């Protein structure tokens, strides 16, 4: 315990900072002086005066009865100023008939509340700061003094140590408190683990008084944690109560009261709170800044283990001062409105809502795998991995696959992997990954799949977001996990030496588990239920941080049923999986999965020879690949032998997913696969198959326009069985309206595409707000997913995608989908690909086209400038039906990592704005 001798000159209890200057104009940006009041309350050690920000008096002045009360508790070294946006938003809601009273006190020794006496004598050090137990008593006295109405909902809100204090108070008043909300905080710290380094330094006995009281060190470091830094006026407002050592006594006291050690005086209260939370069943919300160096993701994981029903939203990129980094008031009041709806609103807005019926009969994910082991096909290949050396086992039969899955399921279960545990899979697609995935699914573990295409930074963010209990990986993946301290107990793919196992921190190996449990069956393990979580699949991250998409066993089963029906994929079929998600579904469908020799993170590395060799090895009848993969397969077709060409002739179905495919490329693919039916299905990570169209139908659609020239955007066909589309038309500012409409009644109308199906995601993982925003639950009794894609439907019921919602160009004449401009420009002989972006203020944006030429960019540029030559620019403008303000030329348009196909229009818009402003720009 620190000897807080530095406090010897701090005045006696009862002294406090003056409040008069809070009304000074501009002194406290965003804080209305009318909210400020002083309240004297009886506490455990006598009467004290608290400074409180309170919207109650203003609501009373307006004659408004509060909907409920929010008790907002700040942490260290902030004060009630932290909650100014919440107070302001609560009063804005009053005009809409929903008015929450917000009470935000300054804790004693903090902000503008009473300062406490800090004796010099070391023997009295336990009395020299406010303890956890006392702070709970302070809230009791304050709430009594404020005479809070408990007939309406009471919600606690906290941050930092105010988070655990507010939850501790809620647990002691569980009969009165109706919900808890907290920003970054912790309710437990294992005594055998180090306190985070960012806090450990300040807690050192020799350092604590100097860093927290004698100087502004601790205060400055904390205020420096805001994303992008605080505005100077806001920083000054936070510092105002703490400009002298006399005012900073409470900062040091808060640090001294951190109960990291078992013998700490506040440890029993912390353990009481953390224990009671496990019985808390009322609404709970955690809003989290993942970049916090103090309250790290492990503390969120602990909270969720105690409160598995809690709603969570992680704001990627934000950190400790989340309330400054993001507008938390909007999601807070949205959540409160959902949980405590007005009397005239149905209590559960989603009650009775459903998805459409699945396209076919839904079976368990293991049914086909088990069925084929009891038929004549049991000795035929189930999975074939062309990436392994020729002298190793490339093919695994159905019989062997089922045996390995069973053995590993037993082994993992005995190791401690339990139903609901999350398992991060750091193994390349192929035989090993298939065995591991289906073993995890068999025991009810949740597979976390974040592929290397996200890059190290993206994968780290994804894994920490999902917070797996286990990591199963090959040595390269485990090395990264160890180096970057990814969460989870580690299991290696292969047997490691003792030294390697120690270095990587592994507790077992898949190879040894398979060997030691060979022949055993998980008969005693119940099969997961349809509603149980099965997998968290991360999006590509092409339009922002990758999101974890949660699927249940039932929803994956519905997807399998759809694939069987839509593409006649039956047991005995064989597919070449150049697109990883389909490789993992093979055993569930009953189809042989052949993984070609390619780099998973670079689809464009797939060659025609690799596809042909995979077709020969697996007697393949189907090929699934991304557009980038197809492009390179066509480009390398000249390397094929006669035998390899014949093998491609046995393919009867080619699917390309992940991004639109140009009709010319489809025709080239048809020449390479002469017997194949070529389809380009439309889907996303949130729903892998929504619409479908064949090559012939693409050509038919291209002549469907009034002038026989097709329509704006890319035609992705009609909805597949079990899928319903709706449309949210865009308003003049490019925003989708709330009321959904039937596509058939609004032919040609530009809008956001909304979809409903049984095989859609269950939700976004630990992104409560994103998940809520992605749903439309008010139309035709169905649960709808907002795709964030914009487009239109034609008179034949076909869907034309025109881009992403965030890329809509808001011109003075109205919103324009990028595809409206790009489609005719892409058709020009000189253009390989084009992107249309908006430059300028919303509502008055100019349309700028960036063209990637078929040949050298020099021929189309004006000297060294990215500006197009006048003749080429004129050609582009004549091709577009929408006025184009500028044409730029770029050697290669930036794309996403995973598909190598999706154009990064956000980066292009920023680049184009800099170019047109005459700024010196960096190359993309």
Domain containing residue 700: CATH number:
2.30.38.10
- Are residues 470 and 413 in contact, defined by beta-carbon separation less than 8 angstroms? no
Selection from 451, 764, 742, 467 nearest residue 579 by Cα: 451
Give the number of domains in the chain: 4
CATH of the domain at 207: 3.40.50.1820
For 290, phi then psi, to 5°, come to -70, -15
Pair 271, 155 in one domain: yes
pLDDT at 730: 96
- Model confidence at 3, in pLDDT bands (50, 70, 90)? very low
Q: Which of 623, 687, 629, 681 is nearest to 652 (CA)?
A: 623
Separation in Å, CA 39 to CA 61, 117, 142, 908, 910: 19, 20, 8, 55, 51
Point out which residues pair with 43 in neighbouring strands.
46
pLDDT tens readout for residues 40-75: 999 988 999 999 999 999 999 999 999 999 999 999
Evaluate whether residue 924 is within a structural domain: yes
Name every residue whose Cβ is closer than 8 Å to that of residue 118 and which is 6 or more positions away in sequence. Answer: 4, 7, 8, 10, 128, 129, 249, 253
73 neighbors 83 (Cβ within 8 angstroms): no
| 340 φψ region: left (φ > 0), alpha (ψ -120 to 50), beta (else) | beta
Residue 363 exposed, middle or buried by CB count within 10 Å (0-12, 13-18, 19+)? middle
Query: What's the angle, vertex CA 446, arms to CA 442 and CA 451, rounded to 5?
Result: 115
d(CA 496, CA 897): 32
Is the pLDDT at 30 greater than 90, yes or no?
A: yes
Which stretch of DSSP H or E encloses residue 567? helix 553-567
Query: Do the domain assignments include residue 651?
Result: no
Specify the CATH number for the domain of residue 384. Answer: 3.40.50.980
For residues 225 and 11, the model is more confident at 225
Q: Would 444 be classed as within a structural domain?
A: yes
Inter-CA distances, 658 with 158, 598, 628, Å: 42, 17, 9
Q: How far is CA 803 from the centre of its chain?
A: 21
- Please check whether residues 798 and 813 belong to one and the same domain: no
Q: Which two tokens stand for residue 176?
A: 């009165």
Phi/psi at 167 (5° precision) = -70, -35
CA pseudo-torsion sign 337, 339, 343, 345: positive
In this structure, of 76-90, 91-105, 781-795, the range with the lowest mean pLDDT score is: 91-105
Q: How confident is the model at residue 98 (pLDDT cuts 50, 70, 90)?
A: confident
At residue 246, the pLDDT reads 86
**Whether residue 789 is found in the same domain as residue 910:** no
Distances from the Cα of 239 to the Cα of 657, 827, 855, angstroms: 54, 60, 60
Q: Does residue 669 lie in a domain region?
A: no
Confidence of residue 860 (pLDDT cuts 50, 70, 90): confident
Task: Report the C-alpha gap between 635 and 609 in whole angstroms.
Answer: 11
Q: Does residue 704 carry a pLDDT above 80?
A: no
Rounded CA separation 546/452 (Å) = 12
Query: Nearest-CA neighbor of 68 among 45, 90, 92, 46?
Result: 90
Q: Is the pLDDT of residue 4 over 90?
A: no
Residue 545 structure tokens: 């941080």
**CATH number where 837 lies:** 3.30.300.30
Instruction: Give the separation between CA 481 and CA 222, rounded to whole angstroms.
Output: 29
| Domain end (from 300, 324, 339) | 339
Look up residue 211 and give its DSSP letter.
I
Q: How far is CA 648 from CA 364, 576, 622, 640, in A?
A: 32, 11, 10, 10
140 in a structural domain = yes
Statement to judge: residues 838 and 723 lie in one domain = no
Taking 50 as the threshold, does the pLDDT of residue 854 lie above it? Answer: yes
Q: Are residues 150 and 199 in the same domain?
A: yes
Q: What is the CA radius of gyration of the chain?
A: 31
Q: Average pLDDT, stretch 98-114?
A: 95
Nearest to 15 by CA among 247, 252, 248: 247
pLDDT, residue 8, reads: 43
833 and 743 together in one domain: no
Q: For residue 214, how many other CB atoms are within 10 A of its CB?
A: 14
Across the range 429-435, mean pLDDT stands at 91
Chain centroid to Cα 41, Å, comes to 44
Residue 570 lies in a domain: no
Clarify whether residues 727 and 845 are in a common domain.
no
Q: ∠665-666-668 over CA atoms, to 5°?
A: 65
Q: Which residues contact residue 751 at a Cβ distance below 8 angstroms, ignoring those fewer than 6 apart?
A: 727, 728, 729, 730, 736, 737, 741, 790, 791, 792
| Range in 446-450, 701-705, 753-757 with the lowest mean pLDDT | 701-705
Listed residues 531, 554, 577: the one ending a domain? 554
Question: Percentage of the chain with pLDDT > 90?
Answer: 66
Cα 332-338-344 angle, rounded to 5 deg: 130
Residues 621, 920: Cα–Cα separation, whole Å:
52
User: Same domain for 321 and 394?
Assistant: no
Say which residues have a Cβ less than 8 Å from residue 63's Cβ, sequence separation at least 6. Answer: none
**Is residue 843 over pLDDT 50?**
yes
For residue 104, the surrounding DSSP H or E stretch is strand 100-105
pLDDT bracket for residue 374 (50, 70, 90): confident
What pLDDT score does 806 carry? Answer: 93
Could you tell me which of 849, 842, 848, 850 has the C-alpha nearest to residue 812? Answer: 842
Answer whether 831's CB lies under 8 Å from 859's CB. Answer: no
Pairing of strands 723-729, 574-577: unpaired
Contact 737, 767 (CB under 8 A): no
Report whether pLDDT(897) > 60.
Answer: no
Helix 608-618 and helix 627-635, axial crossing angle in degrees, nearest 10: 100
Q: What's the per-residue H, E or C state across 609-651?
A: HHHHHHHHHHCCCEEEECHHHHHHHHHCHHHCCHHHHHHHCCC
pTM (predicted TM-score): 0.89
Query: Would the pLDDT of 885 be above 80?
Result: yes
pLDDT for 140? 96
Burial class (CB in 10 A: 0-12, 13-18, 19+), 873: buried
Are 923 and 844 members of one domain?
A: yes
Task: Quote the domain boundaries for residue 745.
Answer: 693-807
Assess whether pLDDT exceeds 50 at residue 1. no
Half-sphere exposure for 809 (CA within 13 Å, toward CB): 28
Are residue 225 and residue 277 in the same domain, yes or no?
yes
Evaluate whether 751 touches 739 at the Cβ level (below 8 Å). no
To the nearest 10°, report the CA torsion of 876, 877, 883, 889.
40
Q: Is residue 419 part of a domain?
A: yes
| 190 and 80 belong to one structural domain | yes
Q: Does a structural domain hold residue 493?
A: yes
SS3 188: coil
Looking at 189-193, 247-251, 261-265, 545-549, which range is the least confident one?
189-193
Torsion (CA) 271, 275, 276, 277 in degrees, nearest 10: 110
Q: Which residue has the tokens 């939700």?
A: 763
Q: Burial level of 534, CB count in 10 A (0-12/13-18/19+)? A: buried
Mark whether 801 and 844 lie in a shared domain.
Answer: no
- Model confidence at 803: pLDDT above 60: yes
Q: Please state which of the ranges 326-335, 360-369, 414-423, 803-812 shows the lowest mean pLDDT.
A: 360-369
User: What's the mean pLDDT in 212-229?
Assistant: 93
Asked if 83 and 36 count as a contact pair (C-beta separation under 8 A), the reply is no
Which of 781, 807, 833 marks a domain boundary?
Answer: 807
């Amino acid at each position: 315990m620190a000897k807080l001798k530095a406090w010897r000159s701090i005045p006696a209890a009862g002294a406090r900072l003056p409040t008069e200057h809070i009304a000074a104009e501009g002194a406290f940006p965003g804080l209305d002086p009318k909210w400020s009041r002083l309240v004297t309350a009886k506490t455990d050690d006598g009467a004290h005066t608290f400074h409180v920000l309170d919207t109650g008096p203003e609501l009373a002045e307006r004659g408004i009865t509060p909907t409920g009360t929010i008790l907002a508790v700040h942490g260290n070294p902030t004060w009630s100023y932290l909650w100014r946006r919440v107070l302001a938003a609560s009063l804005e809601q009053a005009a809409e008939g929903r008015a929450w009273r917000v009470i935000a006190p300054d804790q004693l020794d903090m902000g503008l509340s009473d300062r406490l006496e800090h004796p010099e004598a070391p023997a009295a050090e336990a009395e020299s700061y406010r303890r956890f137990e006392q702070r709970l008593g302070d809230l009791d006295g304050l709430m009594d003094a404020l005479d809070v109405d408990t007939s309406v909902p009471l919600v606690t809100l906290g941050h930092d140590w105010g988070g655990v204090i507010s939850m501790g108070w809620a647990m002691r008043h569980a009969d009165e408190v109706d919900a808890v909300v907290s920003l970054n905080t912790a309710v437990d710290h294992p005594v055998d683990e180090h306190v985070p380094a960012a806090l450990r330094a300040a807690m050192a006995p020799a350092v604590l008084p100097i860093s927290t009281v004698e100087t502004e060190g601790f205060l400055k470091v904390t205020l420096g944690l805001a994303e992008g830094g605080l505005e100077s006026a806001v920083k000054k407002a936070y510092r105002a109560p703490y400009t002298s050592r006399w005012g900073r006594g409470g900062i040091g006291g808060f640090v001294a009261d951190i109960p990291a050690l078992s013998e700490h005086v506040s440890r029993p209260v912390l353990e009481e709170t953390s224990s009671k939370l496990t019985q808390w069943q009322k609404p709970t919300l955690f809003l989290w800044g993942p970049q916090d160096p103090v309250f790290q993701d492990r503390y969120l994981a602990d909270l969720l283990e105690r409160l598995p029903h809690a709603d969570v939203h992680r704001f990627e990129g934000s950190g400790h001062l989340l309330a400054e980094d993001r507008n938390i008031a909007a999601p807070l009041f949205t959540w409160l409105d959902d949980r405590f709806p007005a009397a005239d609103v149905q209590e559960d807005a989603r009650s009775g809502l459903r998805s459409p019926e699945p396209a076919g009969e839904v079976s368990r994910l293991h049914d086909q795998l088990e069925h084929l082991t009891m038929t004549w096909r049991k000795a035929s290949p189930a999975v074939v991995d062309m990436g392994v050396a020729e002298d190793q086992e490339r093919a695994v039969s159905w019989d062997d696959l089922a045996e390995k899955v069973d053995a590993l399921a037993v082994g993992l279960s005995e190791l401690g992997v339990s139903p609901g545990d999350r398992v991060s899979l750091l193994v390349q697609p192929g035989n090993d990954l298939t065995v591991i995935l289906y073993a995890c699914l068999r025991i009810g573990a949740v597979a976390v799949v974040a592929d290397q295409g996200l890059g190290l930074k993206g994968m780290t963010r994804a894994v920490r977001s999902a917070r797996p209990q286990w990591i199963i990986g090959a040595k390269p993946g485990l090395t990264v996990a160890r180096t970057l301290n990814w969460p989870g107990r580690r299991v290696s793919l292969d047997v490691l030496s003792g030294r390697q196992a120690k270095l990587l921190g592994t507790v077992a190996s898949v190879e040894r588990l398979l060997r030691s449990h060979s022949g055993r069956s998980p008969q005693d393990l119940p099969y997961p239920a349809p509603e149980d979580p099965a997998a968290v699949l991360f999006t590509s991250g092409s339009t922002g941080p990758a999101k974890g998409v949660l699927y249940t066993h039932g929803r994956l089963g519905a997807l399998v049923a759809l694939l069987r029906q839509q593409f006649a994929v039956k047991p005995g079929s064989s597919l070449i999986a150049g697109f990883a998600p389909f490789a993992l579904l093979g055993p569930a469908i009953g189809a042989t999965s052949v993984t070609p020799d390619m780099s998973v993170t670079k689809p464009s590395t797939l060659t025609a020879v690799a596809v042909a060799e995979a077709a020969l090895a697996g007697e393949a009848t189907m090929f699934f690949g991304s557009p980038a993969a197809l492009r390179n397969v066509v480009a390398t077709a000249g390397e094929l032998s006669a035998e390899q060409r014949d093998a491609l002739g046995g393919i009867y179905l080619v699917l390309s997913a992940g991004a639109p495919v140009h009709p010319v490329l489809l025709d080239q693919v048809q020449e390479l696969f002469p017997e194949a039916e070529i389809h380009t299905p439309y889907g996303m990570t949130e729903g892998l198959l929504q619409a479908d169209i064949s090559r012939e139908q693409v050509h038919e659609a291209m002549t469907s326009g009034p002038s026989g020239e097709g329509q704006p955007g890319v035609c992705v066909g009609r909805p597949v069985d079990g899928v319903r589309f709706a449309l949210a038309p865009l308003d003049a500012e490019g925003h989708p309206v709330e009321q959904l409409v039937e596509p058939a009644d609004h032919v040609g109308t530009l809008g956001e595409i909304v979809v409903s199906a049984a095989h859609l995601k269950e939700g976004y993982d630990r992104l409560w707000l994103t998940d809520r925003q992605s749903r439309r639950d008010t139309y035709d009794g169905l649960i709808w997913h907002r795709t964030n894609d914009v487009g239109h439907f034609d008179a034949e019921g076909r869907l034309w995608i025109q881009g992403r919602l965030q890329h809509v160009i808001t011109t003075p004449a109205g919103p324009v989908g990028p595809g409206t401009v790009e489609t005719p420009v892409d058709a020009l002989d000189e253009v390989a690909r084009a992107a249309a972006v908006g430059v300028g203020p919303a509502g008055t944006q100019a349309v700028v086209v960036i063209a990637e030429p078929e040949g050298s960019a020099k021929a189309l540029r004006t000297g060294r400038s990215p500006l197009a030559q006048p003749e080429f620019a004129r050609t582009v403008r004549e091709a577009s039906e929408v006025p184009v303000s500028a044409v730029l030329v770029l050697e290669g348009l930036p794309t996403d990592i995973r598909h190598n196909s999706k154009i990064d229009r956000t980066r292009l818009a920023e680049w184009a704005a800099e170019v047109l402003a005459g700024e010196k720009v960096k190359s993309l």
